[in-house]
């Protein structure tokens, strides 16, 4: 999604002249608590160079022009404001810089909160750290602190305290990750997947919905093996929906497991396996 969100302001102009009326929660998408304006600027003096933790704002260039640079910590976009009929919506956690003010620029800003210096993030490296923090949905139960940057954990996921999850992973709703589980970077775990003790998932692995993992060959209620089998899903492998992976299996790099397959033994690199018990149908050609 573009970082630049320009809102068309209600234009009530008629032959007598221009008129724009702004109303909280109507033409502007928040409750208005504060207004300020910046004027008598010059093109040599840039401003901004900060983000806000919670504040939302709309900037309107009532007269003249200026350039905004918006940066969400991942990428930057520029926009020139030069119309009293356009409002630039600046969401929280967005680094902003204002440059190239025309001499006659009058920049009006509508703010969702009262002034609060503690809401400012004025150091760029602090901002980048915050912008890359993992997202944990409020309905998830995440006890582990070992969640890599840019990872997202969705509703009703349970992640126990010792589990390790790398960067940029997507752990979908309704998943369970036990303690002795290590997940690499860029991994997708779709809904309905439970990762039991003893499972390692390397970088770039895709685990489809309702894939079933196991870690005990002869399970009996209340009887625990001294150690669970170790299952390893190597880099880049994909496992189709509803496949079952038996305990202790190694799935090789870039292998592809068909939907519903029951994998009873190791799968070589790049192998395509299907069926119950799963057999090799071919190899991925690159």
- Which of 60, 66, 70, 96 binds ligand T46 (CB under 6 A)? It is 96
Active-site annotation holds for 50 = yes
Given 50, 99, 132, 137, the catalytic residue: 50
Nearer to ligand T46, 56 or 190 (CB): 56
The whole-angstrom separation of Cα 212 and Cα 151 is 22
Exposure string of 248-282, with b = 16+ CB inside 10 Å and e = fewer, is bbbbbbbbbbbebbbbeeebeebbbbbeeebeeee
- Which of 32, 109, 160, 241 binds ligand T46 (CB under 6 A)? It is 109
Beta carbon of residue 131, minimum distance to ligand T46 (angstroms, whole number) = 16
Specify whether the CB–CB gap between 53 and 42 falls below 8 A. no
Nearer to ligand T46, 33 or 74 (CB): 33
Contacts with ligand T46, 235-274, as mask; x by CB under 6 A: ----------------------------------------
Number of residues that bind ligand T46 (CB under 6 A): 10
57 binds ligand T46 (CB under 6 A): yes
HEC profile for the chain? Answer: CCCCEEEECCECCECCECCECCCECCCECCCCCEEEEECCCCCCCCEEEEEECCCCEEEEEEECCEEEEEECCCCEEEEEECCCCEEEEECCCCEEEEECCCCCCEEEEEECCCCCHHHEECCHHHHHHHHCCCEECCCCEECCCCECCCCEECCCCEECCCCEECCCCEECCCCEECCCEEECCCCEECCCCEECCCEEECCCCEECCCCEECCCCCCECCECCCCCCCEEECCCCEECCCCEECCCCEECCCCEECCCCEECCCECCCEEEECCCCEEEEECCC
Nearer to ligand T46, 39 or 135 (CB): 39
Beta carbon of residue 57, minimum distance to ligand T46 (angstroms, whole number) = 6
Nearer to ligand T46, 54 or 276 (CB): 54
Nearer to ligand T46, 39 or 224 (CB): 39
Beta carbon of residue 47, minimum distance to ligand T46 (angstroms, whole number) = 4
- Which of 22, 32, 48, 136 binds ligand T46 (CB under 6 A)? It is 48
- Which of 115, 135, 224, 279 binds ligand T46 (CB under 6 A)? It is 115
56 binds ligand T46 (CB under 6 A): no
Only segment of 32-40, 75-83, 142-150, 152-160 that touches ligand T46 (CB under 6 A) = 32-40
**Token duo for residue 153:** 């954990």
Place of tokens 């760029």: 124
Beta carbon of residue 204, minimum distance to ligand T46 (angstroms, whole number) = 38
- Which of 38, 62, 182, 241 binds ligand T46 (CB under 6 A)? It is 38
- Which of 8, 11, 31, 36 binds ligand T46 (CB under 6 A)? It is 36
20 binds ligand T46 (CB under 6 A): no
The residues annotated with a catalytic role in the active site are 50
Question: Using CB under 6 A as the criterion, which residues of the chain lie in contact with ligand T46 when the complex forms?
Answer: 34, 36, 38, 47-48, 57, 59, 96, 109, 115
């Amino acid at each position: 999604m573009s970082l630049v969100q320009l809102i068309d302001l209600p234009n009530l102009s008629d032959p007598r002249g221009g008129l724009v009326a702004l109303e909280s929660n109507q033409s502007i998408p928040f409750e208005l608590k504060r207004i300020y304006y910046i004027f008598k600027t010059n093109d040599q003096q840039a401003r901004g160079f900060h983000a806000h933790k919670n504040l939302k704002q709309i900037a309107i260039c009532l007269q003249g022009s200026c350039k905004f640079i918006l940066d969400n910590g991942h990428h930057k976009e520029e926009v020139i404001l030069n119309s009293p009929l356009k409002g630039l919506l600046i969401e929280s956690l967005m680094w902003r810089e204002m440059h190239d003010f025309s001499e006659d620029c009058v920049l009006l800003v509508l703010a969702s909160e009262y002034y609060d210096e503690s809401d400012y993030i004025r150091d760029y490296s602090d901002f980048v750290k915050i912008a890359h923090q993992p997202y944990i949905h409020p309905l998830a139960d995440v006890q582990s602190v070992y969640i890599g940057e840019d990872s997202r954990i969705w509703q009703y996921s349970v992640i126990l305290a010792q589990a390790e999850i790398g960067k940029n992973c997507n752990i979908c709703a309704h998943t369970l990750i036990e303690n002795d589980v290590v997940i690499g970077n860029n991994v997708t775990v779709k809904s309905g997947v439970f990762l039991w003790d003893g499972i390692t998932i390397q970088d770039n692995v895709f685990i489809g919905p309702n894939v079933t993992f196991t870690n005990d060959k002869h399970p009996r209620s209340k009887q625990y093996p001294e150690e669970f089998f170790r299952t390893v899903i190597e880099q880049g492998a994909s496992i189709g929906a509803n496949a079952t992976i038996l305990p202790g299996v190694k799935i090789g790099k870039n292998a592809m497991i068909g939907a519903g397959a029951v994998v009873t033994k190791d799968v070589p690199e790049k192998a395509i396996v299907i069926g119950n018990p799963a057999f090799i149908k071919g190899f991925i050609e690159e």
